[in-house]
Amino acid sequence: MIKKININNLGLYQNFQWDVTVRDKGNNPAYFKKENIIYGRNYSGKTTLSRIIRALETKEISPKYINPEFQIVLDNNTIDQNNFRTNKLNVRCFNEDFIKENLRFIIDPDSEIKPFAILGENAEIEAQIEAIKGELGEKKEDLKTLKYKDLDDLITLVITKENEYSDLKRNLESQLTTKATGGTNSIKQQHAKFGDISYNITKLNRDIGIVLKGSFVPIDSSKEALNLQQIKEVQKTNVTKEIKFINVYTQVLAKITDLLNQSLLDGNKIAELLANSSLNEWVKKGYELHTENRNCDCKFCGNPIKTSRWEQLDDHFDDETKKLGDSLLSYKRQLETEIANVESYRLPSSDFFYISFHEELAACSLNFNVHITNYKTDLEFLVSKINERLSAIHTPVTVEDSISFSEESLTDVITSYNELRDKNNAYSNELIDKIKEAKEELRLLEVKRFVDTIQYSALQTNITAKESDYNTKKQERDDLVVFIKQKEKEIEDLSRQLNNEEEGARRVNEYLRNYFGHQNLELQAIEEEIDSYKKIRFNIVRNRNLAYHLSEGECSIISFCYFMAKLDDIHTAGQKPIIFIDDPISSLDSNHIFYIYSLINSELFIKERFQQIFLSTHNLDFLKYLKRLKFSKNQYEYFIINRYSDYSELALMPNYLKNYVTEFNFLFEQIYKCAKAEIINDDNHSLFYNFGNNARKFLEALLFYKYPSKIDNQTQNANSKRLLKYFGNDQQAATLTDRVNNELSHLEEIFDRGMSPIDIPELKRVAQFILDKIKDKDEEQYNALLQSIGKEEPVIQNSVVSSLN
């Protein structure tokens, strides 16, 4: 049901502030109930309110409302300007828009009245409908059976399957999101290591697809360690060092071998020296020291050196021997120089090379050093052979070929180094791509470890199974929905064959005759065939002739009868809609107003044909009748719409309007309150100031209906004469009452009375006197008046007459 309505803006002057202004006496929010009576003067906003409700029925709202804003609060949800077209409420609204849409003939005689059909009778078709209904089962909530029950069960099962599938998928997606972008351990946050600062779950799914391929082989731990170093590399300068090897050993070997093998003539040689190489070397040095000054004495022994000795020594150390020794010394120095140079033969440090080439460089350096060491060994061996010949210059020395050094192998090593150097230098240009490749390998390794840890493949298999199960049940549900809709369409098509527009017209005419006594004015269903299609239209006829120039009252009656009959059409029959009836008594006299009330009471309230109802009116007579409706206990409420300068507001109806059928009852209550007031204060002081007017008007009404005959006006006015007649022998009380009525309800010619305060005790006595006199004259009427103002306490029995004496 509708609890409350907020209308914030319609692009017009009206602004309904329902939730702000509608409060009960305890200042608590007041809500719509099952049965709601709304009173408001013309132009206060009743029809505007009805248009908002009717928008729920038609799914359209007046285009005259600019950017409308409203909320309709229900028991469990809210409808507003954004979603009102999708509401499922069953609403039927009667207002001027309903008349314009359905009964245009009333406004424009050249237009027509929309026909409506009421379910007719056909046993065969009805049997088919019942058979289909038997197949579908019961559709009511909490009572569903057969196909409707199966559908409910499937809907519940689909929700369960969807939740199972969604939970698994959501859990996996959460893990994927965390790994991709969430936290310090995510791939995105470790972009320096994994190489993608914009990494996301889409890219993670792509990488998962790569690592799950059978052809994918992750890098091993050593390659991982190498990549971790490699990604930290910065660009290096090119390595320029070249290894240019000249094989001195090969160049001098033949010549040295010849010198070592050369024989010297030993006929004039000193045999002793030839036999002792050390001695020969010692003598040679002495010979070289003294040869420049042969006339000197021996610097060792001090004896003169004989000429013959000089000749022996010259023969022993002849030019050939000297030449051989010089040649051997020359080669020795060359070899020693080369041996010294070999110490500097080293490949560059790994610091000059990228990590990717360190392993290859280390192997190359090892081979190079082995060959250089062998080369040095061979050189040293050759030097040893020269030393051996020099120590025994006259003794030839044999030289064997070196077996440790291979120039060809060394050349291969140098070639490998040069190639490695060139690759290292070229690597600088490829460094960015290489680091990117290393990071990608590290990232794919990380992804592989991740999918293995969470058992990704097993999760996906489970999710796929759950999804398949969900889709299967969803398809079963959808198929059953289609089946049910097809069957319901069959019922609708068959029901349409039972539709009887003539019955709709007959129902309108029945209301016209039974409630309004219109025998000549009626609705007539006319069947036409247009383009081979059957079409039904309604006409309003009077004495079987098309009725023109309908009076406003006739238009109101026909419109409302049409609305009431339409509640039995094929779209509404058997249902309990929310009904809004807006001021249905326009231009009707009192009799017809009563008939409208009777129709509403008997057809809607007594038969309980609505879920909730709203009745609005500007007419006090109609409001008086509405108070007689057969309301549900504690399920009804009265409201009033008050219009102010630029807005309207909805409020609870005040008691004076809600509780009193006529002003006569209200005036009686004011007199009663004056008589029974025990404490006089600011809250009730106005009762006594208004007492004169209230008492005068009440007594005028009471006495006129008591004595409706003509009263002689020659000596006294008619009201005073009726008052004296009503009070009988108590002339003093009647005179005092008459004086209070006249003096307190007028200031003309007694202006000084307005300068004095009111004598409240006197007014209380007069009020009590009036009550006692009414009871004395007609106790039944007095009790009825008490009941009309909700009072049942016994009246004070003491006579007021004595108090006035």
pLDDT of residue 533: 55
Using the structure block, give the residue that is written with the tokens 């030449």.
Answer: 323
User: What percent of the chain shows pLDDT beyond 90?
Assistant: 23
- pLDDT class for 15, splitting at 50, 70, 90? low
pLDDT of residue 804: 36
Given a cut of 50, whether residue 625 has pLDDT beyond it is yes
Query: Could you say which DSSP state residue 605 is in?
Result: I
Ordered by start, the domain boundaries in the chain are: 2-103+575-658, 248-429, 663-804
Given a cut of 70, whether residue 782 has pLDDT beyond it is yes
Backbone angles phi, psi at 753, to 5 degrees: -65, -30
User: pLDDT digit string (tens) for 246-276?
Assistant: 777 877 877 888 888 887 655 555 555 555 6
pLDDT of residue 546: 81
Backbone angles phi, psi at 715, to 5 degrees: -100, -35
65-74, 318-327, 382-391, 571-580: range with lowest mean pLDDT: 318-327
- Higher pLDDT among residues 638 and 521, named by residue: 638
Q: In 10 A of CB 694, how many CB atoms? A: 25
Find which of 161-165, 247-251, 310-314, 688-692 is predicted with most confidence, using mean pLDDT. 161-165
The set of residues, in sequence order, having a beta carbon less than 8 Å from that of 17 and lying 6+ positions away, is 6, 647, 649, 650
H runs (alpha helix) in 517-659 = 552-566, 590-600, 620-626, 655-658
Looking from the CA of 453 toward its CB, the CA atoms found within 13 Å total 10
Average pLDDT rounded to a whole number, residues 22-41: 83
- Classify burial at 760, counting beta carbons within 10 Å of its beta carbon; exposed 0-12, middle 13-18, buried 19 or more: middle
Average confidence score pLDDT of the chain: 80
| β-pair partners for 529 | 534
Determine contact, residues 653/638, Cβ cutoff 8 Å.
yes
Q: How far, in Å, CA of 460 to CA of 482, rounded? A: 32
CA distance readout (Å), 290 to 284, 315, 331 = 10, 15, 26
Given a cut of 60, whether residue 598 has pLDDT beyond it is yes
What is the SS3 assignment for 233?
Answer: coil
Given a cut of 60, whether residue 797 has pLDDT beyond it is no
Determine contact, residues 79/72, Cβ cutoff 8 Å.
yes
| β-pair partners for 652 | 639
Q: Is the pTM of this model over 0.85?
A: no
CATH code reported for the domain at 2-103+575-658: 3.40.50.300
Given a cut of 80, whether residue 770 has pLDDT beyond it is yes
Nearest to 459 by CA among 174, 159, 160: 174
pLDDT of residue 319: 61
209-223, 338-352, 450-464, 614-628: range with lowest mean pLDDT: 338-352
What is the SS3 assignment for 181?
Answer: helix
- Determine the longest span between alpha carbons in the chain, in angstroms: 211
User: pLDDT digit string (tens) for 674-713?
Assistant: 888 877 776 676 777 777 788 888 888 888 877 876 655 4
Two structure tokens written together for 514: 């039974």
What is the SS3 assignment for 527?
Answer: strand
Q: How far, in Å, CA of 564 to CA of 504, rounded? A: 10
Backbone angles phi, psi at 203, to 5 degrees: -70, -35
- Classify burial at 277, counting beta carbons within 10 Å of its beta carbon; exposed 0-12, middle 13-18, buried 19 or more: middle
- pLDDT class for 753, splitting at 50, 70, 90? very low
Q: In 10 A of CB 335, how many CB atoms? A: 23
| β-pair partners for 4 | 73
pLDDT of residue 468: 95
Two structure tokens written together for 283: 């003598």
H runs (alpha helix) in 601-658 = 620-626, 655-658
Given a cut of 80, whether residue 438 has pLDDT beyond it is yes
Q: In 10 A of CB 731, how many CB atoms? A: 10
Q: How many residues are there in the chain? A: 805
pLDDT of residue 402: 58
- Ordered DSSP codes for 196-207: -TT--HHHHHHH
Find which of 118-127, 129-138, 238-247, 526-535 is predicted with most confidence, using mean pLDDT. 129-138
Q: How far, in Å, CA of 566 to CA of 557, rounded? A: 14
Q: How far, in Å, CA of 582 to CA of 618, rounded? A: 9
